[in-house]
Structure 1
């Protein structure tokens, strides 16, 4: 992927995290990156194409991070809670899929499909890591809800309060 395409995706990701699908324009992305709007269109013909690629990239990156962490720690709930904690404590405070998921009924089809793919990937991985389908659904709802509440209250510590029981380190037998 070209450096310019990556810069455009990075700028769009930040804008989506702050304002959802309606929270950015190609003109704003171009200004963020320091290029002309037509250059954004060169890489991504439509806003839908750009937003779908942001979500796809986020999902793929999250999937890889979860796989790497799960290889080190077999406690799936702890791995997932810690992974999304990084988002809660990041500058953006939100996962773009969470922001877009709340409005997925109003998104263009390609973007909504990528958001759905992200959440389905999360549930499928959780089940593959040993959770029942019901437990995976409940747990995913808990950690995503914790992100939303922490963001709404503008207090990242809310995420820690909501997920503390999942993030507790296993005690080693002495």
Structure 2
């Protein structure tokens, strides 16, 4: 794993554990075991790091959805179920909030470029979902976009409720997910 990937992995964990403003480049360098100047070699500024984190997270999440949607067992699944499973798996595997959900909650305190990248995660995921809802159900693009928006809000809210109550099972109760 490259130093840049290590920095991104550690920074993602730090943001998901304590928020964007909860760490410095020095903290990040200490965790990775490098000098803080080395962090600046890879990311000129903290907003540059934040944007890269969000872009990487977005790409991985959308790739996970594409992969899930292309498996034979998911071929006929409702797209809402695929997205719901993506959120559920992320929460249950790490016990942490969606990176972009957490950043969205911090929205007013984020640098504009990190805020915009975070918005792009939601727009991209909503678009992925809306396109598939429209294809599968024959609804209009506008109706599908509204359904996707409601689904995204419910999933992020379910994550928040599960985290604040320290009970990941709440996500399943709120979303109607099966336990498996």
TM-score (norm 2): 0.88
Question: Which shifted more, 152-161 or 8-17?
Answer: 152-161
CA contact 1:17–1:92 (8 Å) conserved in 2: no
Once the two structures are superposed, the pairs formed by residues 7-26 of structure 1 within 5 Å of their partners are: 7-26=6-25
Q: State the distance in 2 between where 1:92 and 1:13 align.
A: 14
Moved over 3 A (4+): none
Structure 1 unaligned runs (5+)?
170-174
Counterpart position of 1:111: 114
Question: Which shifted more, 126-135 or 9-18?
Answer: 126-135
CA contact 2:95–2:168 (8 Å) conserved in 1: no
Counterpart position of 1:55: 54
Bigger RCO of structures 1 and 2 (CA < 8 A, at least 6 apart): 1
Q: State the distance in 2 between where 1:23 and 1:159 align.
A: 26
Residue 20 of structure 1, CA deviation: 1.3
Q: CA RMSD in A?
A: 1.6
Q: State the distance in 2 between where 1:144 and 1:129 align.
A: 20
Counterpart position of 2:88: 85
TM-score (norm 1): 0.90
Counterpart position of 2:31: 32
Q: Deviations over 1:38-87 (max 9, x none)?
A: 11111001111111110110000001000111122132111111111112
Q: State the distance in 2 between where 1:111 and 1:63 align.
A: 18
Residue 168 of structure 1, CA deviation: 8.9
Counterpart position of 2:105: 102
CA contact 1:93–1:156 (8 Å) conserved in 2: no
